[in-house]
């Protein structure tokens, strides 16, 4: 009941005009917007740079995990999947494969794609490693490149 009377008093003050609420002026709002724009222009490029490098690091980690899954496959099958079987052999039993006890990638029903949404490239036997090569062509999907467009693989450090 006390609260209702306080609300009623506030409504009466607003109606009589005795308690005027003052807002921000247009100039004050513009100054705040300019400050925010300056902060955004300074911090924005750094954030974008971190996002690009985080995708590259994610691809490196995924390639490493795929390599570990391939090693488990080797332990049970006595060989790595060939290029025709590909990384799909880690989640689906290849035809005429005895001893397959997968899936060898936990928690997924398919081989993960690289952070840019493309399939990883798998070659076995490898051209750069004796056993297998796993690579991603980066953000541009083309060989070579720099920064976010750089290739990520299991043979370069």
Confidence (pLDDT) at 132 = 92
Note the maximum CA span of the chain: 89
Give the tokens for residue 151: 């290739």
* pLDDT one-digit tens code per residue, 92-130: 988 888 888 878 888 778 899 999 999 999 998 888 878
CA-wise closest residue to 59 among 131, 111, 128, 135: 135
Count the domains in the chain: 1
Boundaries of domain holding 145: 53-157
Confidence (pLDDT) at 18 = 55
CATH number, position 74: 3.30.700.10
Is residue 16 one of the residues assigned to a domain?
Answer: no
* pLDDT one-digit tens code per residue, 28-38: 888 899 888 88
Confidence (pLDDT) at 83 = 92
């Amino acid at each position: 009941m006390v609260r209702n009377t306080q609300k009623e008093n506030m409504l009466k003050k607003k109606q009589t005009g005795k308690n005027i609420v003052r807002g921000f002026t247009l100039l004050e709002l513009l100054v705040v917007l300019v400050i925010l724009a300056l902060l955004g222009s300074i911090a924005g490029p750094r954030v974008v740079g971190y996002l690009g490098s985080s995708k590259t690091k994610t691809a490196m980690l995924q390639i490493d995990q795929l390599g570990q899954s391939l090693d488990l496959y080797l332990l049970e099958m006595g060989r790595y999947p060939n290029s025709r079987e590909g990384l799909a052999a880690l989640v689906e039993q290849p035809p005429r494969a005895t001893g397959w006890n997968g899936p060898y990638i936990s928690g997924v029903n398919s081989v993960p794609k690289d952070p840019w949404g493309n399939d990883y490239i798998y070659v076995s036997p490898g051209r750069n490693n004796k056993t297998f090569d796993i690579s991603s062509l980066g953000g541009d999907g083309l060989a070579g490149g720099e920064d976010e467009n750089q290739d990520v693989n299991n043979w370069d450090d």
